[in-house]
Structures are given as C-alpha cells and as structure tokens.
Amino acid sequence: MWQKFLWKTYWKIEGLLVPEMGRLQPSYGAVLRSCLDFSTTWLDLGCGHALLPTWLSTEEKALSRNCRCLIGIDYDMASLMKHRTLDKKIRGDITELPLKTSSLELITSNMVVEHLKDPLSCFREVNRVLKPGGLFVLHTPNILAYPALISLLIPEKAKRKMIRVLQGRKDEDVFRTYYRANSRYKLAELARRSNFMIRRLDLLVGHALFPLITPLAVLELMWTRLLMISRFEGMRPNIVAALQKRRGR
C-alpha cells in the first residue's frame, strides 16, 4: 500500500516539475517504428522475456506485427520461454550469432550493450549479419550521467538489493555492467572500427532513479530540468542510437 502511495506521489511531482518529459522507452519504440516495414527481418539481441517493459506490451505487439519476422536471441532459456512476441527463438551467445552473413535488415538491443565485456567484437558480429545498409538500433545508459556513475561505485551485491527494492526486478533480471560502449564518443569509435556509420544518436532524460524516496526524487527531477537545457545534454542518462552498416564493403 505504501509503495502505491509513493508512486502516486512521484508521478504527481514529476508532472509538476518536468511536465514536458516524455517517457523514455516510447522514444526507443519510436525509433524502432521508423526502421520497420513488412519486409524487415529483425533480430533482438539479449531479448530476455520482452522487447519493452510490460506497461508497453501493446506497443510491443504492434511493433512485432510491422515486420516480416522477429527473432530473439538470449542465453537464458527461461527468459526465452516466457517471451510471447517472437516468431523465432534462439538460445545462444550474442557475440557469436548463429546466422548467415548479410541476412538481416535490423538488429536491436535494449539495455544490453552496457553488459558487454568486449563490445567491439559484438559490434563486428552484428555488422557481419546485417545486410549492407542494415541498421543496429540500441538503447543504453550514458556513462557520463549520474545513474551510471553511481552504479559503478556500488558493489554488485548491494546493487542487486537496491534494484530489487527500488525497481522490483528479480535477481535473475540483473546482470553485471561494464559500460564499455556507453558514451557518444565511445559509440562513434566503435562504429568506425566495426564498419558502421551513425545515422542518429539521441541523448534522453528519464525518470528518477529513486522514485520511492521522495526527497531524492525531487532533487533528481530538479536536475532533470537542468539536463533538458541543450548545453547539459551530454549528461543526460540515456542513449538511443541507430548505426547503419556501410554499403559496398
């Protein structure tokens, strides 16, 4: 009961302090919609048990209907079995894709690349599987923003407990983070070294990291208002990027 009250309090405060803030995940979804048509074969890396959060399940279903085939790959079989949107499921390593060279139009990753030990190898593997002109769309935290910096400072054990309490996520949905592809400058370098060009890269604000701790949430939302000024965009907490495989190589 108290959590419900705190959530209502948070949404009211957010509406007052940052009324123009759109929801982050729909921004990612909007980029996905712009990349899809009925001829698109689409692979979601580290697909888990859903493409988008449960409160966006209607949008997830709509996206899945706008492509020829939606494939998901994840190493965790339990997550794959729970996934209800995929046409095909692959249990495997996202750094060694069991797919033919130049066989897909679109590959996506939603909050995955921050967990990669060796993002360059993964990006090159994604490039191999994409057709020339194909797109790699990713959504990931920005290492220059305070949520990622806090995450780096907190021990893994304590971090898992905090995520369970504050976000309601189970331990099996929490994975170690490395943040080796998590700034616009690092993404530009990785794109260059893996034969991509950056088609778009957006830095976005998001909801408070501690929404149920009202005093902290107020401070976070005040900071978010500052981040919405363009000169501070480099410290916004989320990155949505679309990388395009170069043609003729």
Residue 23 in this model has a pLDDT that exceeds 90: no
Cα(184)–Cα(201) distance, rounded to whole angstroms? Answer: 7
At residue 169, the pLDDT reads 52
What is the per-residue pLDDT for 107?
98
Distances (CA, A) of 201 to 25, 77, 142, 158, 242: 15, 32, 12, 32, 6
Q: Which residues, at least 6 apart from 175, have a Cβ–Cβ distance to it below 8 Å?
A: 115
**For residue 108, pLDDT beyond 90:** yes
More confident residue, 22 or 54: 54
Is there a contact between 22 and 224 (Cβ–Cβ < 8 Å)?
A: no
Q: What is the pTM of this model?
A: 0.89
- With contact defined as beta carbons under 8 Å apart, do 190 and 181 qualify? yes
Residue 249 confidence (pLDDT) above 90 = no
Its CATH class, for the domain covering 2-245, is alpha beta
Q: What is the DSSP string of 140-203?
A: EE-TTSHHHHHHHHS-HHHHHHHHHHHH---GGG------SS-SHHHHHHHHHHTTEEEEEEEE
Whether residue 173 contacts residue 211, with contact meaning beta carbons closer than 8 Å, is answered with no
Structural contact between residues 184 and 240, judged by C-beta atoms closer than 8 angstroms:
no
The pairing of strands 130-141 and 69-74 is unpaired
Q: What percent of the chain has pLDDT over 90?
A: 69
pLDDT of residue 13: 94
Question: What does the pLDDT look like over 27-84, one tens digit per residue?
Answer: 898 999 999 999 999 999 999 999 998 878 898 999 999 999 999 999 999 999 999 9
Provide the token pair at 98: 């069991």
Residues 120-133: pLDDT tens digits? 999 999 999 999 99
Q: Which amino acid is at 25?
A: Q
CA-CA-CA-CA dihedral for 5, 28, 54, 227, to nearest 10: -10
